[in-house]
Amino acid sequence: GAVVSQHPSRVICKSGTSVKIECRSLDFQATTMFWYRQFPKQSLMLMATSNEGSKATYEQGVEKDKFLINHASLTLSTLTVTSAHPEDSSFYICSASLRSGGTETQYFGPGTRLLVL
């Protein structure tokens, strides 16, 4: 159980276009999902916390108008990179939070590799 999927797994787009990435919890409901970005040979950096039915909370330095997050249901959060530029090329990973027995655990998706030409 506790499987998280992401779609697409890889996307190549032209500079200036917008790209939407989906994150789904397949067998559980997640009131909270998280979006991370990972540049080559670097660790994961939290971009934002996505709560179902409310606005996302962005980390310092992350442009909320550039990275639009929608968490419309308990199993789906989307990240839209608007007007993407080459510097947005990165590996984007989501996680979904599941609380069980008083412990909060994040389950990670397989990631989406974005390449902006």
Partner 1 sequence: KQEVTQIPAALSVPEGENLVLNCSFTDSAIYNLQWFRQDPGKGLTSLLLIQSSQREQTSGRLNASLDKSSGRSTLYIAASQPGDSATYLCAGFKAAGNKLTFGGGTRVLVKP
Minimum CB separation of residue 13 from partner 1 in Å reads 18
If one counts every other C-beta atom within 10 angstroms of the C-beta of residue 90, the result is 21
The Cα angle at residue 54 between residues 85 and 107, in degrees rounded to 5: 70
Considering only the stretches 17-25, 35-43, 67-75, 77-85, report the one whose residues sit in contact with partner 1 under the rule CB under 8 A.
Answer: 35-43
Among 42, 63, 64, 115, binds partner 1 (CB under 8 A): 42
Minimum CB separation of residue 75 from partner 1 in Å reads 18
**For partner 1, what does the binding mask look like between residues 70 and 89, x meaning CB under 8 A?**
--------------------
Share in percent of the chain as helix, strand, coil (round to 5): 5, 55, 40
